Amino acid sequence: MRVSVIQMNQGSDKAANLAQARRLIEGALAADRPDMVSLPETWTNLGGGRDSRFAAAETLPEPGATGGEAYEFLREIARANAIHVHGGSIIEKGAEKLFNTTLVFDPEGREVARYRKIHLFDITGPDGTGYRESALYGGGSDLVTFEAKGVTFGCTICYDMRFPEQYLALRRQGAEAILVPSNFTLMTGKDHWEVLLRARAIETQCWVIAAASWGSYEERGATRQVYGHSLVADPWGHVVARCSDGTGWVTARLDRAVTGKVRRDMPVLEHRRLA
């Protein structure tokens, strides 16, 4: 199975972000013919403040019903190209707060997964910049998996990667690959991004597929930067595909024989003694 991770430099203009996503996805489809494409975290909006986020938010429909602009964009890409589309995450409009929500569509354009980010990014970065995701967003509580071309995928988003218990729980639910769409900050990314992703791959013996945002964006008059370096790691922890700086994509082939061999030769799940 071939998966393309899309690396974007999105901002607060939703229409421009949709156009950028379409251009990059079409480029990946023409060049690499993937079976699945994966977008970054909140690819429809990054920056601009509270009003911008609420303006970009969409009320998600019941499966099968018509949704908002980003929802229908993802569904149309999946159906028109007969591929699975992992929509990174978009901003979901809730009753009281927003949610950071992943959507996945199958080749017929049917929604097959919906995941709300569990762990919210409330930290102070090494440069003193504060991030308070919980000020606008509510957290999810449910683990989500789905199947595509015989492979079971688990859903996570960005900051979730720092919580290995979530990844172990997905492995126990049958995950063979785990998706990690992200807006990883430059300051933390240069030290932690690859280390954490490779660790999660090694611990779970899963493929880890991380589409990331790259570059600068404006947030309430200040310029912030995200790290990029989208990558795919195999179940042994090798990085088998990686984006450089800039927008673009990278494609990797997920080989289930590799997964099977790693798990057979080192059966860590069976050896585990602590919960």
Which residue out of 41, 58, 111, 176 is catalytically annotated? 41
Which residue out of 117, 155, 176, 206 is catalytically annotated? 117
Q: Would strands 145-148 and 137-138 be described as parallel, antiparallel, or unpaired?
A: unpaired
| Residue indicated by tokens 């079409």 | 26
Question: Is 243 among the catalytic positions?
Answer: no
Query: How many residues appear in the chain?
Result: 275
The answer to whether 195 touches 203, Cβ cutoff 8 Å, is no
Question: Is 117 among the catalytic positions?
Answer: yes
In whole angstroms, what is the distance from residue 90 CA to residue 87 CA?
7
Identity of residue 86: H
| Residue indicated by tokens 């995200």 | 226
Enumerate residues 6+ apart whose C-beta is below 8 A from 128: none
Enumerate residues 6+ apart whose C-beta is below 8 A from 178: 153, 154, 155, 156, 167, 170, 200, 204, 206, 207, 208, 209
Residue 91 φ/ψ, nearest 5 degrees: -90, 120
Which residue out of 155, 158, 206, 243 is catalytically annotated? 158
The answer to whether 232 touches 240, Cβ cutoff 8 Å, is yes
The answer to whether 79 touches 109, Cβ cutoff 8 Å, is yes
Question: Is 218 among the catalytic positions?
Answer: no
DSSP for 103-165 reads EEE-TTS-EEEEEE--S--EEE-TTS-EEEGGGTEE------EEEETTEEEEE--GGGGG-HH
Enumerate the active-site residues.
41, 117, 158
